[in-house]
Amino acid sequence: MEKNDNSTYQIETKELVKVAASGWLGTAMEFMDFQLYSLAAAIVFNKIFFPNASPAMGLIMSMGTYGAGYVARLVGAYMFGRIGDKMGRRTVLFVTITLMGLASTLIGFLPTYEKVGILAPIGLVVLRIFQGLGAGAEISGAGVMVAEFSKVKTRGLIGSLVCLGTSSGTLLANLIWTIILTNIKGNDLLTWGWRIPFFASFIVMIAAILIRMFVKESPVMEEKKKLLLKEREEIGKNSKPVKAERKGKKSFLVALGLRFGQAGNSGVLQTYLAGFVVTVLLMQKTVATNANIISSLVSFITIPVVGYLGDKFGRRKIYMILSFAMAVYAIPMMMMINSKNVVLLTIGLVIGLNVGCQGMFALENVMLSELFGSKNRVTLVSLAKEIAGLIATGFGPLIAASWVSAVSGSWVPIAIMLIIFSLSTFFSAYVSEDVTGRDLNDLDDAA
């Protein structure tokens, strides 16, 4: 049993392992669903659900249904975030993983446009909405839970290990799609082959639920109850009205900016580029999936290294380094991708994903948890993630598809979008305070 450096509660190592495993599985499932849908939208959904549209317009419409899920995520972030702050982190994580897993599995049972007409894309949008509701607070709740269980000195490293769920989920989704695209061709892929990846969500959901049954509530919740009671007693003793402090505005804006850059880069690199490679560069469908698989494998080193560096040198400083590097790298990376050379494309995309997506994500859960006080932490972390995600990841691929189509397949709009996303994170980190190691029992936000 280890005592946290900055608080009154004690942490059992075995409990931290269960919490980390639970968070890892939930994150893996969210990103598996994310990548399963992303690749399906880029590769087959335009033919299955929008067969009467041109290839370019079909890709745009597929990305539009992808964006619908991000609108629902915002609603889920507030609704389930409030439950997480009022009733407990553990409670909300049961609901989110179940809702997310069932919606993803049911996508695999949807009839095609050929069978039921307009009802097919409508059904796709409805399930994306339910999937989004659950995802709205899943990764935020899991990230907060792990941060609140971790020791101060290793909080970033432990939190980053949970982020390995992104690599695990992305890797699994890409492996499944690569196997399917390699072995199932033509009409078989469009009738039943595309359904197989979505059935896999059910297995991950069951595993996550089983682990979460044996996880305790966050120790910060118990401490929060005591601090809130003490706060009410002090207010009751004060005969004069207490003027509430307006704290948290800067913390929320910083959190939005940090998330906006990472989410935007992810939407463009992990979602849109799969379609760009196939429909614009006219390369094999497996080129993008293979690059994502290699990137996921490399990130098993990148993510914990970045988490460790955040603990050692401060998360703000590492955020600035990674985001500025991605802004500088955007143009040479797109030149490598546009060369149509498989080796150059793969190297370019792997570096971009590890710097601009997985690297920054390794810092995100913990730094956002440290920016906010325990009173409304799950709600504010969830809202910051989902508002930025709605704009950047929900509509970024749609904007990229439309912009590239408007300029006859040029890669320049993609590079511009990556630079804008990355600089937004750089500026947000620059104006932020370094909250590395902050006591998570504090009721108030950092700034």
User: Taking 50 as the threshold, does the pLDDT of residue 241 lie above it?
Assistant: no
Q: Which of 237-241, 267-271, 356-360 has the lowest mean pLDDT?
A: 237-241
pLDDT at 243: 45
Q: How many domains does the chain have?
A: 1
User: Taking 50 as the threshold, does the pLDDT of residue 9 lie above it?
Assistant: no
pLDDT at 369: 94
Domain span holding position 397: 9-431
Task: Give the tens place of pLDDT for each residue, 155-182.
Answer: 999 999 888 887 888 788 878 888 888 8
- Pick the closest to residue 363 from 171, 166, 84 (CA basis): 166
Residue 76 lies in a domain: yes
Residue recorded with tokens 């790298």: 329
pLDDT at 444: 87
Residue 354 lies in a domain: yes
Of residues 41 and 154, more confidently modeled: 154
Rounded to 5 degrees, φ, ψ at 50 are: -135, 55
pLDDT at 61: 61
User: Taking 80 as the threshold, does the pLDDT of residue 62 lie above it?
Assistant: no
pLDDT at 262: 95
Residue 44 lies in a domain: yes
pLDDT at 250: 92
Beta strands 10-11 and 2-3: pairing type? antiparallel
What distances in angstroms separate CA 72 from CA 33, 120, 200, one per listed residue? 15, 19, 23
Residue 281 lies in a domain: yes
pLDDT at 7: 45
Of residues 294 and 15, more confidently modeled: 294
CA distance between the termini of the chain: 32
- Pick the closest to residue 269 from 432, 411, 165 (CA basis): 411
Q: Given pLDDT bands bounded at 50, 70 and 90, which one contains residue 2?
A: very low
Provide the CATH number for the domain around residue 70: 1.20.1250.20
What region, left, alpha or beta, does residue 186 occupy, with left being phi > 0 and alpha being psi -120 to 50 degrees?
left
Residue 421 lies in a domain: yes
Residue 3 lies in a domain: no
Rounded to 5 degrees, φ, ψ at 11 are: -120, 125
Residue 438 lies in a domain: no
Q: For residues 263-287, give the mean pLDDT.
A: 86
Of residues 136 and 285, more confidently modeled: 136
User: Taking 90 as the threshold, does the pLDDT of residue 306 lie above it?
Assistant: yes
Of residues 326 and 47, more confidently modeled: 326
Q: For residues 90-103, give the mean pLDDT.
A: 86
Residue 441 lies in a domain: no
Mean residue pLDDT across the chain: 84
